[in-house]
């Protein structure tokens, strides 16, 4: 499944991006695997440099988030 050719073929079939470095957005567009407007959605290695480390909220922060989300859902 992680062989580059197999992984890219599966990606073209199910649209789930495999974790391989061989993916190049321009190549995926030129070979017809994805449309040009989707090229910016392909995750490349340099994207990981901008990532954020997920952290669990404290109980107090979680409560504030849930209250804010409740207001959003109520339209207020």
- DSSP letter (8 states) at residue 42: S
Q: Using a pLDDT cut of 90, give the percent of the chain over it.
A: 38
pLDDT higher at 76 or 11: 11
Report the pLDDT value the prediction gives residue 76, as an integer from 0 to 100: 63
| Rounded CA separation 57/1 (Å) | 35
Query: Within 13 Å of residue 27, how many CA atoms lie on the same side as its CB?
Result: 8
For 7-44, give one letter per residue: b (16+ CB within 10 A) or e. bbeebeeeeebbeeeebebeebbeeebbeeeeeeebee
| Rounded CA separation 73/69 (Å) | 6
């Amino acid at each position: 499944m992680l062989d580059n050719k197999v992984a890219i073929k599966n990606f073209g079939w199910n649209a789930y991006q495999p974790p391989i470095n061989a993916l190049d957005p321009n190549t995926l567009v030129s070979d017809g695997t994805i449309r040009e407007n989707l090229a910016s959605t392909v995750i490349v290695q340099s994207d990981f440099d901008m990532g954020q480390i997920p952290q669990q909220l404290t109980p107090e922060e979680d409560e504030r988030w849930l209250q804010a989300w409740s207001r959003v859902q109520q339209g207020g």
